[in-house]
Amino acid sequence: MKNVLFLCTHNSARSILSEAILNAKGGDRYKAYSAGSAPKTAPNPTGLALLEERGHPVDQLTSKSWDMFAEPDAPKIDVIITVCDNAKGEVCPIWPGHPVAAHWGIEDPSAASDPEARKAGFAEAYRQLEARIDALLALPVDLSDIELKQALNRIGAEGEGATETAKKALSA
């Protein structure tokens, strides 16, 4: 079982969606968590409503600081995936165990001011994240850390809706 931490600045939209999707699909291979550098007080209600509509449990989803995953008693994180460009550029805590780090930047669905546009943005972000998670789940289990990092960055860079930062991460 690999533990995957999805990071986004506010831990209210993309990282929360990613956590829910991977936990639903990861089976006995992956356990997902999410966090942010400057977490909101709660996940975005539009995102939670979408997750509920799609059958995901939402009662355990919370916005939390990434600092809690750098603590000695935190779950050992094997893979860290940033899903927003801001989080990719921030100075992260020192993660115990030196997890594999990759970037899957996609546009922020909560940025739309119109409620219908925001709802459509969350549906699109969900679709894009689900496709990336499906690609993660299709990877061989015996990849080295270097191979896994390259594969994850390729998933982020080549996925539909990839930000320019995600495309640049492929060459990093």
Cα angle, residue 102 at apex, residues 66 and 47 outer, rounded to 5°: 60
HSE at residue 19, side-chain half, CA atoms within 13 A, is 25
Q: Which two tokens stand for residue 40?
A: 């909101």
- Burial classification of residue 60, based on how many CB atoms lie within 10 Å of its CB (0-12 exposed, 13-18 middle, 19 or more buried): exposed
Which residues have a Cβ under 8 Å from the Cβ of 113 and sit 6 or more positions away?
none
- Give pLDDT, residue 88: 58
Say whether 147 sits in a helix, a strand or coil. Answer: helix
Q: Which two tokens stand for residue 6?
A: 């999805």
| Residue 66 near residue 7, CB atoms below 8 Å | yes
- Give pLDDT, residue 86: 67
Maximum Cα interatomic distance, the chain, rounded to a whole number of Å: 45
Give the model confidence (pLDDT) of 13-26 as tens digits: 999 999 999 999 99
Distance CA 101, CA 81 (A): 6
Distance CA 46, CA 137 (A): 26
| Residue 19 near residue 7, CB atoms below 8 Å | no
- Cα distances (Å, whole numbers) of residue 115 to 9, 121, 155: 22, 10, 30
Q: Which helix (H) or strand (E) holds 16?
A: helix 14-25
| CATH classification for the domain delimited by 2-169, as one of 3.30.70.260, 3.40.50.2300, 3.30.60.50, 3.40.50.850 | 3.40.50.2300
pLDDT tens per residue across all 172 residues of the chain = 999 999 998 999 999 999 999 999 999 999 999 999 899 999 999 999 999 999 999 999 999 999 899 888 899 999 999 998 765 555 566 667 789 999 999 999 988 889 999 999 999 999 999 999 999 999 998 999 999 999 999 999 998 888 888 888 776 6
